[in-house]
Structure 1
Amino acid sequence: MNSLHNIFQIKDNLRTKRISSYDKTGNNRDCIRIQGGETSEIAVIEGAGIIRHIWITLKTADPFIRRNAIIRMYWDGETHPSVEAPLGDFFGQGWGEEYNFISLPLAAAPMKGRALNSYFPMPFGDGAKITIENQSDSDIESFYFYVDYEVHPTISKSSGRFHAWWNRELTEVHPEEGETEWGIVAAQGENKTDAHNYLFADIEGKGHFIGINYFVDSPGPMWYGEGDDMWMVDGEPWPGSLHGTGTEDFFNSSWCPNEIYLHPYFGYARIPDKLGWMGRTHCYRFFLEDPIYFDKSLRASIEHGHDNALTLDLSTVAYWYQTEPHKIYPPLPGRGLRQNMPEVTVRDVHMWRHEWRKAMGGGKTLWGNERK
């Protein structure tokens, strides 16, 4: 990342350029239209350079466009994208929602998080291409964008290329005793493998991992974050070179937080306002001062509850740099498979209480914390 300590230095053989949606007729229609089902190439750059900044905002009738639109990036004439993610998730907004998000490399800025920004440097040696695929039934009526980049004489092949991958899983409860987080239902087991963890990076090549946006939707009020992060570098066995102590610890916080906190490198951009930790939480962490290096491969995952004891709707965007070629990503789940899980409502919780009351014998003054 650029830093202020050398901003005064004058550099040779560089030129700053921009590709934008400005109205080339000189009028004020400074946007493009992307029809439903259409893929638009918003930036095609020849030669060598570094993309320094991307800004996007849009208008459409589709309220779920941040999941229904896909951003892809290609470097050096490659066929398979190095970046592939739903538009909102890539810039740090989960579930197709609009909300403000602040970090050093990514931001969703006012009005109400509708201005999407990236400051990740993205080098390329022989061309770059950025596309937006509108998988919605609605047109994106107005799509505004800047792509600001530097023209360089050359960029070495040894320079890492920027990558980002979106994944999602409705996690299955692994222990036979069911959702027994904190030992509430039964004694908890020991997890001595990463086989059942939620996978957020599966990388082949040489490079370094630099960040993650982590979106968790919890259908129950239990704390979702007892899961440890686990990193297997260059094919090493469990427990790996880096092994965490809990989800909130991985995101540089503590003691089951449920509050908005926005640090340049880590934080909580969205939290639920329900019972306990029920609902949607967006955690993020960027390893800009402490990248995770790998020479051959990296498998990074996290438990969904200790010993993978919780059903959660988890989705992530992982960010890293590596030399090419990269491992081809699995096919992006179709639009129907990217929809949100239904919201658990007050009515649902009341029905849980009703079933619990029957299981307790139907007493007329049962409070809710009685146990057999």
Structure 2
Amino acid sequence: MSQNQGFIHELSAAPFLTQGQTRWITAENPTGEKGQGGKAASNLGIARKGRPCITLPQGETVVLADIQGTGILQHFWITCTNATPKGNFVLRDLVLRIYWDDEASPSVEVPLGDFFCNGFGERCKVNSQPIVVNPTGGMNCYFPMPFRQSAKITIENQHAEDIQGFFYQFHYTLVDSLPENTAYFHAQWRRENITTEGKDYTILDGVKGKGTYVGTYVAWAALERYWWGEGEIKFYLDGDEEWPTLCGTGTEDYFGGAWCFYEKENGIPVEVPYSTPYLGYPFYSKSDSTLKEKFGEDSVPMHGLYRWHLPDPIHFESDLRVTIQQIGHNSRELFERTDDVSSVAYWYQMEPHADFPILLPVHRRWPR
């Protein structure tokens, strides 16, 4: 379904009433209870924008939402600073976790910025179907996230100081029941700050059970000369071992681009970022925008890319593994590379899910 078709479907369905109780959880109504919003006072008086945001204490985990019952989380929005006097990488220092049905280990565990396709600890605009990031740092998610018993959403502040002015809104609908084939949303972050030459980077593995893979975000820092994106993505499905069932043809091909994302300006090849409903290259930079002192602002080339498998989902019945190669080209031949790669995998599956790898400590998550 195209973005336009999806919009038409949503618009055409609007007149038809369905069962459900709509709720918002915000700092103005932290429990989402009926008739309990906007009661805090400001200098203007009671119920005049008294508590629009919260502070995240340094070193603590804050429960943003704790929902009981059956329902679907349909949209959430978050915004916060991306830097403080004590550090430039707030978006990597804050960790988003989501738990379904009182599970002990999270189904979502991702640095906040990377979840919204804002890797490298830097902001960029994203205009896609499930993830939208608007000026200035307004991060939106439209992945539907159903739950049968409960949903708990937390944010852990691993930054070096408190984060002031953390704003959030969670829009969900409580329903009587969900179809038996309803799966749960998952997202997992990984990083290799130096990949191994000749060994494919693992985006996701260890997934057991039935589900659907729906998206990939990659933050790729190119550490060697020449073109970095000849590597192929591979999906190992349902018992695949040495050879995958699904094999791509190149990194830029998988993300919907071609020929190195280049267009020529005055005869010089220039990378062209883009953001579309299901495919995007929204971030490219060779300069360090976090520097406060001008010791030099050069950086390794940084590339942020996403692909959503919503009109073209990848189904698996029993297990799934996803990898991508680091292969370059020097205008004469292919060569194996080592780069700095981090990623987010997004998928739905029936519970229970396998425990995720241990999240890297905060200093090892900082971009190069």
Task: Give the TM-score of the pair, scaled to structure 2.
Answer: 0.82
Match of 1:199 in 2: 202
Counterparts of residues 76-115 of structure 1 (less than 5 Å) = 76-111=101-136, 114-115=137-138
Return the alpha-carbon distance in structure 1 between the equivalents of residues 180 and 96 of structure 2. 24
1:206/1:294 contact within 8 Å kept: yes
The residue aligned with 2:22 is 16
1:10 & 1:198 partners in 2: Cα distance?
A: 46
Tell me the secondary structure at the aligned position of residue 256 of structure 1. Answer: helix
- Does residue 208 of the first structure (1) align with residue 212 of the second (2)? yes
Alpha-carbon contact 1:160-1:323 (below 8 Å) kept: yes
Matches of 1:31 and 1:8, distance apart in 2: 31
Deviation of 1:157 (Å): 5.1
Work out whether residues 94 and 156 of structure 2, in 8 Å CA contact, stay in contact via their aligned partners in 1. Answer: yes
SS, match of residue 325 in structure 1: coil
Mapped to 1, the partners of 2:134 and 2:102 lie a distance apart of 32
Structure 2 alignment gaps of length 5 or more? 29-37, 41-46, 262-270, 288-298, 329-333
Give the secondary structure class of the aligned counterpart of 1:116.
strand
How much has 1:3 moved relative to structure 2?
4.6
- The AA in structure 2 aligned to 1:324 is E
| Unpaired segments ≥5 residues, structure 1 | 176-195, 342-372
Query: Judging changes above 3 Å, is the alpha-carbon distance between structure 1 residues 69 and 213 closer, same or farther for their aligned structure 2 residues?
Result: same
Is contact 2:195-2:340 (8 Å) kept? no
Relative to structure 1, the CA distance from residue 152 to residue 91 in structure 2 (aligned partners, 3 Å threshold; closer, same or farther) is same
Aligned to 2:91: 66
Structure 2 counterpart of 1:85, one-letter code: V
- Partner in structure 2 of residue 290 of structure 1: 312
- Seen in structure 2, the aligned counterparts of structure 1 residues 97 and 74 have a Cα distance that, compared at 3 Å, is same
CA RMSD of aligned residues (A): 1.9
C-alpha change, 1:153 and 1:270, in structure 2 (3 Å) is same
- Which ranges of 4 or more aligned residues in structure 1 deviate by more than 4 Å? none
Trace 1:3-152 onto structure 2 (pairs within 5 A). Answer: 3-5=7-9, 6-22=12-28, 24-25=39-40, 26-28=47-49, 29-59=51-81, 61=84, 62-111=87-136, 114-152=137-175
Matched with 2:258 is 254
- Give the drift of 1:272: 2.9
**Residue aligning to 1:363:** none
Q: Are 1:337 and 2:364 an aligned pair?
A: yes
Cα distance change, pair 24–143 in 1 and its aligned pair in 2 (3 A): farther
1:63 CA displacement: 2.7
Tell me by how many angstroms 1:308 deviates.
Answer: 7.7
- Residue 12 (structure 1) shift: 3.3
* Distance (Å, rounded) in 2 between the aligned partners of 1:52 and 1:94: 23
Residues 89 and 317 of structure 1 are in contact (CA less than 8 Å); yes or no, is this contact kept in structure 2? yes
The 3-state SS of whatever aligns with 1:336 is: helix
- Partner in structure 2 of residue 350 of structure 1: none
Cα distance in 2, alignment partners of residues 118 and 158 from structure 1 = 23
Q: Is the 8 A contact 1:227 1:308 kept in 2?
A: no
For the 8 Å contact 1:171–1:198, the answer to whether it is kept is no
Which amino acid in 2 is paired with 1:226? Answer: E
Aligned mates of 2:150, 2:180 — CA distance in 1: 12
Greater alpha carbon shift after TM alignment, 28-37 vs 165-174: 165-174
Q: Is the 8 A contact 1:205 1:323 kept in 2?
A: yes
Deviation at 1:9, TM superposition (A): 4.6
Give per-residue Cα distances to partners, 1:315-346, cap 9 Å, x unaligned.
001101000001110110000111222xxxxx
8 Å Cα contact 1:49/1:149 also seen in 2? yes
Q: Match of 1:238?
A: 242
Asked if structure 2 preserves the Cα contact closer than 8 Å seen for 1:48 and 1:154, the reply is yes
Alignment correspondent of 2:351:
324
Shift of 1:94: 0.7
Selected match of 1:164 from 187, 194, 202 = 187
The SS at the match of 2:143 is coil
Q: Which has the larger radius of gyration?
A: 1
**Aligned residue pairs: how many?**
317
Task: Tell me how far 1:174 sits from its aligned partner.
Answer: 2.6
Q: Does the 8 Å CA contact 1:30/1:144 hold for their aligned counterparts?
A: yes
* Alpha-carbon spacing, 1:49–1:308, altered in 2? closer, same or farther (3 Å): farther
Q: 2:279 is matched with which residue: 266, 269, 280?
A: 266
Question: More displaced, 235-244 or 89-98?
Answer: 235-244
Task: Tell me if structure 2 keeps the 8 A contact 1:227–1:303.
Answer: yes
TM-score by length of 1: 0.81
**1:175-198 CA distance string (max 9 Å, x none):** 5xxxxxxxxxxxxxxxxxxxx210
Tell me which residue corresponds to 1:184.
none
